[in-house]
Amino acid sequence: MSVHYLDHAATTPMRQVAVDAWVEHAGAGNPASQYASGRRARSVLDSAREEIAALLGCEPVEVIFTASGTEADNLAVRGLFHAADTNRIISTPIEHPAVLETVTALAAAGAEVELLPVTASGHIRDFSALAEPAAVATMMWANNETGAILAVGEFLAAAAAAGTPTHLDAVQVVGHLPVDFRELGATSLAASAHKFGGPRGVGLLLARRSPAPRAVLHGGGQERGIRPGTVDVAGAAATAAALREAVAELDVEPQRLRGLRAKLLAAIRGSVPEVLVHTVEPALPGHLHLSFPGAEGDSLIMLLDSLGIEASTGSACSNGVNRASHVLLAMGVSESDARGAIRFTLGRTTTDADVDAVAGVIADVVTRARAAGLAFG
Ligand code: PLP
């Protein structure tokens, strides 16, 4: 049975250029060591840092290697909050848990949190909370579930007018849309290598020199003291190689994905009665987030999996229990409709054959999932 992978927003296969760079530098030593092998490792790390900086429009010193997008988000949100002398945080209700849970933990420790309201399409409705200064304002650039691209220009301009430092969670955007950190003017920005064909376990935090996040982790002072710990040189080289290739494809790949997504949506709408489409423009080109009311997302995924089609509900589930997505609930989707959500995300390796495979089975899969009904309630 051939496998049709349609979960590229969860992770996308490593690019060959990244594998090659990874293998080439797998034996690199500690880039902080002063002797020859350390200096060689340092030179590979410096090149990776310079290349990433050039591709993302920042200074090499502003590139901080982390172990995940989650870590980059935590270091930035906590670090900027603790670097400020006010107690207020501004965010949104549709953040990935990497930001949402960090903000929730800071709120439990006494921070005053205000969330920007969202529309039914999953975009931000009102930025006026940014008029009052805050310790940090943190927002995702594009949503991992729906693919909605948020108005970062408006967000950053409003925060800057109040003198509020800003963090952008750009994990779904870097390598998928052009990014120019200098031009944006954000204080910090998080990315994750495995979302653009780099290795799992490498994140990027772009952080301006000032205001810099206060250290959350303490150690040997690597990465400006913001992310201490010996840096993974092979991972950094592989990340730079993957990003170079991803950015070079930006002229053509989004259009190709839009075409495939339109075909997939037309096929689903043509064969399944009652479909709710949660992906509304402006949105990432490879996302298609839907609900089939009356079906359980987990049933849809298991039925598709049994047919070799890999997709997800799009939301982080805890302990295997399918909860209605906080993103869909914030958009005003009912709890039962949210439980019937499924996310297809197309990417670099997606072809017409993958779309045709879904088109060929989706009507039957939804009928069977609807017959099974909702697990509880
Ligand atoms: N932020 C967003 C928007 C994401 O989609 C993800 C991953 O799904 C993360 C943060 C976390 O990234 P990582 O998997 O590298 O920890």
Q: What is the pLDDT of residues 334-377, one digit of tens each?
A: 999 999 999 999 999 999 999 999 999 999 999 999 999 866 54
Tens-place pLDDT, residues 145-176: 999 999 999 999 999 999 999 999 999 999 99
Which residue minimizes the CA distance to atom 13 of ligand 1? 69
Please say whether the beta carbons of 311 and 301 come within 8 A.
Answer: yes
Residue 326 buriedness (CB in 10 A; 0-12 / 13-18 / 19+): middle
Flag whether pLDDT at 318 surpasses 70: no
Centre of ligand 1 to C-alpha 98, Å, is 7
**Which position has the token pair 């301009």?**
157
- Averaged over 10-15, what is the pLDDT? 98
- pTM, 2 dp: 0.97
In this structure, the dihedral spanned by the alpha carbons of residues 19, 21, 23 and 27, taken in order and rounded to 10 degrees, is: -150
Task: Find out whether the beta carbon of 199 lies less than 6 Å from any atom of ligand 1.
Answer: no
Residue 125 has pLDDT above 80, yes or no: yes
The CB of 12 under 6 Å from ligand 1? The reply is: no
With a cut of 90, say whether residue 86 has pLDDT above it.
Answer: yes
User: How sure is the predictor about 322, in pLDDT bands with cuts at 50, 70 and 90?
Assistant: low
Pair 337, 242: CB distance under 8 Å: no
Instruction: Decide: residue 265, CB within 10 A, 0-12 exposed, 13-18 middle, 19+ buried.
Output: middle
**Residue 58 catalytic?**
no
Mean pLDDT of the 179-185 span: 98
Q: What residues have CB less than 8 Å from 34, skipping those under 6 apart?
A: none
The CA angle 27-15-223, to the nearest 5 degrees, is 50
User: What mean pLDDT comes out for the span 22-46?
Assistant: 98
Q: What is the pLDDT of residue 319?
A: 47
Alpha carbon of 272 to ligand 1 centroid (Å)? 31
Average pLDDT of the chain is: 96
- Residue 144 Cβ inside 6 Å of ligand 1? The answer reads yes
- Determine whether 218 is exposed, middle or buried from the number of CB atoms within 10 Å of its CB (0-12, 13-18, 19+): exposed
pLDDT at 85 over 90: yes
Task: Using alpha carbons, list the distances in angstroms from residue 252 to 231, 247, 259, 280.
Answer: 33, 10, 11, 21
Question: 317, 349, 352, 371: which is the annotated catalytic residue?
Answer: 317
Across 40-46, average pLDDT:
98
